[in-house]
Amino acid sequence: MDNPHIFSPLSRRQLRITSPAPAIEGTPVVCTKLFADTPVVFGDSNLGRLAVNVVTNTLLAAGATPRWMGVSFTIDSDTPTSTINAVAAAMQDAAIQAEIEWLTTDTAILESGPRYGIDLTLTAVGQLTDGFAGGMECVHSGDTIIITGQAGSYGAALEALRHNITTIMNADGAPLSDIVHNTLDVNPHIHAMLYPIGGVKQALDSMHCRLNIQHDAIPVSDEVKAIADITGKDPLDFATADALIMIVAAEDADRTLAAIRRSAFGSEAAIIGHVG
């Protein structure tokens, strides 16, 4: 690293940290995620943007509006300043887009640090959305299953990097606040939401109920399909950072799908099956 002390002032300036923390109103929801051994750059994507989007969407899937976030950086001492600057800038851009405020940051610089230069630990706090009472206990036979976007781009990008495949794709996720809020405006009775960061297949399996899934209806880009073919993997096993799975009553499915498709990042939404 060119200057081992550069990140402390840089983080406060670029992440626009709010201090002191505001009082929390309503029911708080907390999410903590560790991003270790993740490449800082993969394709045209950035670890900083990915991390912010993942914690934001995890809160949204729990029915909470993301409000505040803190981050702990572990940085290898040989990491170039330009790389640190790129992560900080990506995190700032993602936080603005997700409308989430930074409350605190902490930095540890190690002589023998993370394999890819930077590890991140993020803790985010959200407020439970008024009226949302979704969860797997609310899912019923006949419910419709909707995915809000394409599956597998994040996992496919990492696979491409591991196999030295040249590919550029937007794989660091997207904040899905607009999708969730627009959907709740037209359908406040979403039965459940899942965030398939471990893959669409894993998310659906976690429901532990009989499902009738139309696999051909799940949107997957040609790039992701190509990487799946090369690596011999199922694209539904690839991590997905920019889509949610929603379970709604069958009579609410059409208006829910229309609301999602009107939202930012929701144009590829599709009905993919039903609860058996």
Q: What is the pLDDT of residues 88-123, one digit of tens each?
A: 889 989 999 999 998 888 889 999 999 999 999 999
Can you tell me the distance from the alpha carbon of 55 to that of 69, in angstroms, rounded to the nearest whole number? 9
Residue 9 has pLDDT above 50, yes or no: no
Beta carbons of 186 and 259 less than 8 angstroms apart? yes
Residue 167's closest CA among 180, 177, 153?
153
Report the Cα 57 to chain-centroid distance in Å.
Answer: 5
> How confident is residue 138, by pLDDT bands cut at 50, 70 and 90?
confident
Interacting residues of 207 by C-beta distance below 8 A, sequence separation 6+: 136, 139, 192, 194, 247, 275
pLDDT of residue 174: 94
In tens, the pLDDT along 161-204 reads 888 887 667 889 999 999 999 999 999 899 999 999 999 999 99
pLDDT of residue 19: 55
Helices marked H in 99-243 — which ranges?
153-162, 177-186, 200-205, 222-231
The pTM of this model reads 0.90
Pairing of β 64-76 and β 270-275: unpaired
Domains of the chain: residue spans and CATH: 7-19+27-128 (3.30.1330.10), 136-275 (3.90.650.10)
